[in-house]
Amino acid sequence: MILLLLAAQAATLGATNYGLDAPMPTPKTTPAFADEFNGRTIDRRKWRFDTSRNAEGWANHERQYYAKDRPRNARIEKGSLIIEARRETLSKARFPDWGGQSYSSAKLVSRVPRGYGFYEVRAMLPCGRGSWPAVWLLPSGGRWPDEGEIDIVELVGWDPNVVHATVHSGAFNHTKGTQRGAQKRVATACTRYHRYQLDWRADVITIGVDGRAVMRVANDQPGGKAAWPFTRPYDLILNLAVGGDWGGQKGIDDTAFPQRMAVDYVRYWRPAPSRSRR
């Protein structure tokens, strides 16, 4: 009975604890979308590079320049996508949108937005101080955080091997200190691949690691879209930021760069069709 009560609390958007430890099995069916990164180059039919804020600077006071289609920063290597952040000074002649950043990296965004379903990304994360890797979902258009954000996994290098799962909305976000999330220590997050998972349903979001749920929130609070905007397809994003309000909270260790995030695969399953009752 105690375990049931704890699980119920963890599944409410109004709880004080969103952590959960429960089975989170991967679907046995064929994914509706997958990139196994087995080709020679990044599949541009599946991914685009986001360079939109290079000139003006990225949010959260991050300090990277996101390169477009530059193998030094994003490439396929031994069956994995490698996103590499480097300490370097670029030139306006070669990179007209360079905003004076001291670091280069890459940010990949899915070409096709996807909504409810099961997501699994097998990745090995960097842990150098100042690195900030993330696998997350964000809708196109609208204003943040009103349209929502789902962070399947984030890690900040100054707190190595602690992975974070979070959701943000207009009512619940980090600028107000009301974001809904949980964290888990994964001792080999930076030395081995792990499976980071999202089960996104109409009224429940569950995020997990290696087949075990880490957090769960449910749409059970008043507030409409401000509380629960997670009702339309989002873009899946893979990126490695440098510094920033959170990633750079303890400074940046330049001697630790370059830093690499390796992604073995990305897979997505559509929701199973609901069965009608007679």
The pair of structure tokens assigned to 109 is 């965004």
* Contact present, 153 and 269 (Cβ < 8 Å): no
* 59: DSSP letter: G
Q: Is 105 helix (H, G, I), strand (E, B) or coil?
A: strand
Neighbours of 195 (CB within 10 A): 19
Q: Can you tell me the distance from the alpha carbon of 3 to that of 156, in angstroms, rounded to the nearest whole number?
A: 31
Q: Can you tell me the distance from the alpha carbon of 138 to that of 145, in angstroms, rounded to the nearest whole number?
A: 10
Name the H helices within the chain. 2-10, 244-247
Handedness of CA 167, 170, 173, 179 (dihedral sign): negative
The pair of structure tokens assigned to 68 is 């477009």
The pair of structure tokens assigned to 269 is 């399953």
Nearest to 242 by CA among 94, 89, 62: 62
Residue listed under structure tokens 């990179």: 95
Catalytic positions are 149, 154
Burial class of residue 74 in the structure, from the number of CB atoms within 10 Å of its CB (0-12 exposed, 13-18 middle, 19+ buried): buried
The pair of structure tokens assigned to 260 is 């690499």
